[in-house]
Structure 1
């Protein structure tokens, strides 16, 4: 392993990337613990099918009980009760009683029951009963306001001033990454690029301002030195680049040209 380390170090040094790697290693060693997710149970598979707050609270209580048990047994949550099973039980809880093993099996039969799920049947029943006993005013809201950015698919139509710099930043960062033989996501976290375009879209921002923001979000110094000037320049653009032609369309055009050629 020492020989491998030495060889990798030599390669990085030859490519002028050793200092980048050292900065990455240092950042990993000193990185704080990841922030705890708010309402992680809302990420349960099948959650999008829920339409009632009474269903949400069942998901929450089942998720919490499953999480506690999984930690105690040091086992994957999904092996105890799958996400799909949780959302299925939540929906079923509004149309049929779920107070014993037989009733749980009936509700889960359409998705295929796993024997392991039923080993802790009493715990699941208790969680469901506890959820259904919670007063209406204490039920979780159907939706919570997220702190993330809108999906980029809607930027062009609904937020054109944000989309303009984004349309330029994507290819320019991709080119900068290719020049340095890097995946573009290693050059800069894509979310940081989107946040710069969103926060400043429609306005200019100096390299110093962009660099300051990138640093506050955790970008490395080597990343900032390369990408801050690029992003700052993109913010000065006045028109969006045309959307890239999809590969499927390009392939279809090629097939059509081939057919025309054969017919001549």
Structure 2
């Protein structure tokens, strides 16, 4: 096994956090080439917004740069210099939204993790794929740092620089493997889909989707759940803290399911032993009192019956429609079998959402291709699975 690298090939790179250096960076990126590698470092679980506190980039024809979006603000000028290039990221979904906030909008995407999954790699983290393909071992010793801190240590900057130092080389090598395997067109469709769907859909009632929230039965419990969620979000925004740092999800849901009868009862809850969480206790009690004062018409209702294709639990399908549950299992098993045989990760062979659409709504008169489309299946997936699913569905119907 090769020794891990702790510094990029060109040596230590300084942080660009002032306008003169940024202007020079823009000049360096006048003609970056066909590919530009990007990555970001965030402070996950610390601040309210999952924003980028460092942006790394390296192009085929331009040097590796580390940009400070806190000091520089909008980076759209830099993004404009790279609009003629394909942007290479690893696990792009983790970075695209926070890049969008600072003005970085990829014209085209190459996601090296998606490529690795389409090629059947067992380990698809950046370090594992880079070592497997290029024989280069990247040190991973600063994965959980608070990147919002300033100044950033040089060892942190070296670690961050390594995440893009070999990324273009990795993309070119993976493209060659995809072409040899006849999967390059698959990859292009997956990259385009990832780029078009990275934004989180709007959720008007996010409190309903907390783990365990489905056990809230009464309007009062649902009202407490909603009010605690709203108050927590307000406090987190004001303090620029991750909501779970104000009140963990499991404790919020527990308060709604087992509502304290008094402030003294609230004070006995296990999370109150944590001083950081205890400081908001009065706000939680006030929220509960506000809900107690509401009349029944002001309390939220339980969710109505869900469309079958939106139910993710197979056991729930069994209770709703056991026959359709059987079809769902047959389709998922076929996808898994094909994925194993062809060494593709099952999630990229065909999504569970597409399988659910077909299982929920297929009948002998249904346009199966339309169901695939509604499940957001890509063209290559439709070509592979439409005839297979047609056969499975007709056999299921006859049985």
Match of 1:96 in 2: 261
Which one has a larger percent strand, Structure 1 or Structure 2? 2
| 1:6 Cα offset (Å) | 1.2
Contact kept? 1:62, 1:86, Cα under 8 Å: yes
Match of 1:260 in 2: none
CA–CA distance in 1 between the matches of 2:320 and 2:306?
18
1:155-190 CA deviation, whole Å, 9 max, x = no partner? Answer: 568745424544542333233223321122211001
Match of 1:21 in 2: 187
* Further displaced range: 24-33 or 223-232: 24-33
Change in CA separation of 1:196 and 1:140 when aligned onto 2, cut-off 3 Å: same
CA–CA distance in 2 between the matches of 1:127 and 1:177?
49
Contact kept? 1:164, 1:239, Cα under 8 Å: no
Contact kept? 1:204, 1:232, Cα under 8 Å: no
Match of 2:202 in 1: 36
CA–CA distance in 2 between the matches of 1:167 and 1:49?
26
**Residue aligned with 2:182, SS:** coil
Q: Please, which runs of 5 or more residues in structure 1 have no aligned partner? A: 242-264
Question: Which structure's CA Rg is the greater one?
Answer: 1
**Residue aligned with 1:237, SS:** helix
Match of 1:255 in 2: none
Change in CA separation of 1:127 and 1:188 when aligned onto 2, cut-off 3 Å: same
Change in CA separation of 1:41 and 1:226 when aligned onto 2, cut-off 3 Å: same
Q: How is 1:55-70 mapped onto 2 (pairs within 5 angstroms)?
A: 55-70=221-236
* Further displaced range: 80-89 or 130-139: 80-89
* 1:219 correspondence with 2:384: no
CA–CA distance in 2 between the matches of 1:158 and 1:80?
38
Q: TM-score, normalised by structure 2?
A: 0.51
**Residue aligned with 1:235, SS:** helix
Match of 1:74 in 2: 240
| 1:112 Cα offset (Å) | 5.8
**Residue aligned with 1:236, SS:** helix
Match of 1:127 in 2: 287
Two-structure CA RMSD over aligned residues (Å)? 2.9
Match of 1:262 in 2: none
Match of 2:361 in 1: 199
Q: How is 1:232-247 mapped onto 2 (pairs within 5 angstroms)?
A: 232-238=390-396
Match of 1:256 in 2: none
CA–CA distance in 2 between the matches of 1:165 and 1:45?
27
Match for residue 253 of structure 2 among 84, 87, 101 = 87
Contact kept? 1:54, 1:132, Cα under 8 Å: yes
Contact kept? 2:213, 2:253, Cα under 8 Å: yes
| 1:153 Cα offset (Å) | 3.2
Q: Please, which runs of 5 or more residues in structure 2 have no aligned partner? A: 1-165
CA–CA distance in 2 between the matches of 1:210 and 1:87?
40
CA–CA distance in 2 between the matches of 1:164 and 1:125?
47
Match for residue 210 of structure 1 among 353, 368, 378 = 368
* 1:189 correspondence with 2:351: yes
Q: May I ask how many residue pairs the two structures share in their alignment?
A: 231
* 1:8 correspondence with 2:174: yes
